[in-house]
Structure 1
Amino acid sequence: MLVHGGRMRFRGLRHVPRTGGVIIASNHLSFADPATLTFFCLAAGRVPRYLARDDLWRMPVIGRVMTSGGHIPVHRGRSSVVDAFRDAVGAVEAGECVVVFPESTFSDDPDGWPARGKPGVARMALATGAPVVPVANWGTHHLLPRGSYLPRFLRRPAVDIVAGPPVALDDLTPPGGGRVGAAALAEATGRIMGSLTGLLADIRGEVPPVTR
């Protein structure tokens, strides 16, 4: 399904389940990502909650959105990260749609390919058993470039957002709800980031780097 919203193009909405807990894992290019991904999730019939760095709450406009939406800030410090993880798991188990940026920050790749993912999203998925839907976005870095505070509406840059099928992780779930090992987390994280990179390659019509 293709949805036009100005210059926003959405595909793969059918992959986002209409009900039940779900984790949306997206690449991260711009402070505009929470706004455009919110439009995408709403178009898919879900109201998203974000697990995101606390500095987003200090951004003009974006900060008000994060506060009013009841999103989950991740502050610095181990105890704060643990608290954020607990809140995110609770939200997923309560049947909510939680959006996570596995890279935790903007990609450091000069060409915008996803950076190495952190294990948090995989840990959430294996702890809850909820589906992880990979979502690739491209163009938000032109809409709101890094270091800018005002979107470039006059240029009307195109923003493409595409969801893929849930990442297969069932074989990595520990039996009986046991402890998730480092190897399983690494494998799950690799599968999630691989799916994201593949979707982004499709949007861009380019071949991603062999090693990320």
Structure 2
Amino acid sequence: MSRDLATRPWKRPLSQVITEPASRTFRGLARFVNAVVPLVARRHWEGQEHIPQTGPVIVVATHISNADPVLLGEYLIWSGRWVHFLGKSDIWKVPVLGWLGSACEQIPVYRNTDRASESLVHAREALVKGQLVAIYPEGTITRDPEGWPMTGRRGAAQLALMTGAPVVPVVQVGSDKILGGHRIELRRLFSGRHDVYLKAGPAIDLGGYEGRELTKELADEVTDLFLETLTAMRAELTGLTPPDGRWDMRVGARVAAQ
């Protein structure tokens, strides 16, 4: 591999980085994203060697911006895997976006409805097929004022405990400069290019949880492990010190760790 491709893996042709089957729409979207991202971001990628090239994988990632799925998706695809995100069902109501979501086999989450459990069923089916599923353990974009992972939801932990699939953590920094945080700020798209960092870590060791009954308490414990791992990775990547406690959007303040 040339030095340029070794240091800038996103320049490799898609046909050389991925062998998994995918629809023409998904391939076309990937190439489009790969061409557009350089207009708004300077990529800094690390840890792609931690993404398994075959078999079921769950990726848990930090969530700081509406731009995250695009940037994380490109990173995972150019790591050799098509990604199947769990995303809010509202996206499927948006023209074009909803069609793309279905055409690219993304997984809608019908939160707070009688269909809420469907997303985990479909995610589990994807893992049985040997696919990579990406999920944000916080369930939404963090509300922490400093961008740290906040309290989470149980979905990612439940999926991991039910399937035994390896769980790879990915931390993302800088995407909020492109499109804002939980509130979309389109003006930022015209503020020049920004440094965006994505780094995967080794699979999280869940061996200590094998054989235990899947209860809410166990799911909460594993969710905490995911968030602690992502927090530590963000601290290492940024050089910042994490605050005490974790932001809870229900009370609008940081709460003590359990």
For the aligned residue pairs, the C-alpha RMSD in angstroms reads 2.1
TM-superposed deviation, 1:74:
0.5
What does residue 3 of structure 2 align with? none
Q: Which runs of 5+ in 2 are unaligned?
A: 1-5, 11-37, 247-258
Does structure 1 retain, via aligned residues, the 8 Å contact 2:66–2:184? no
Tell me how far 1:91 sits from its aligned partner.
0.7
SS of the residue corresponding to residue 84 of structure 2 reads: strand
Equivalent residue for 1:72, pick from 91, 107, 111: 107
Query: Quick one: percent identity of the two aligned structures?
Result: 33
CA distance in 2, matches of 1:180, 1:30: 31
Stretches of structure 1 lacking an aligned partner (at least 5 in a row): none
Q: Does structure 1 residue 198 correspond to structure 2 residue 232? A: yes
* d(CA) in 2 for partners of 1:150, 1:23: 33
Deviation at 1:57, TM superposition (A): 3.4
Q: CA deviation at 1:173?
A: 2.2
Higher normalized contact order (CA 8 Å, seq sep 6+, divided by chain length): 1
Q: Which has the larger radius of gyration?
A: 2
- Counterpart residue number, 1:85: 120
Q: 1:211 aligned to 211, 235, 245, which one?
A: 245
Query: Which range moved further: 97-106 or 4-13?
Result: 4-13
Opposite residue 231 of structure 2, the aligned amino acid is T
Q: 1:151, CA displacement in angstroms? A: 5.9
Greater Cα shift, 199-208 or 124-133: 199-208
| Contact 1:18-1:46 within 8 A present in 2 as well | yes
Q: Are positions 1:188 and 2:188 aligned together?
A: no
1:160 alignment partner, one of 197, 207, 218: 197
Alpha-carbon offset, residue 172 of structure 1? 0.6
Measured against aligned partners, the alpha-carbon deviations of 1:159-180 in whole angstroms (never above 9, x if no partner) come to 10111111111221226xxx41
Query: Residues 10, 62 of structure 1: CA spacing in aligned structure 2 closer, same or farther, 3 A cutoff?
Result: farther
TM-score (norm 2): 0.75
Question: What do residues 21-61 of structure 1 show as CA deviations (whole Å, max 9, x unaligned)?
Answer: 00000111111111101111012100000011123335677
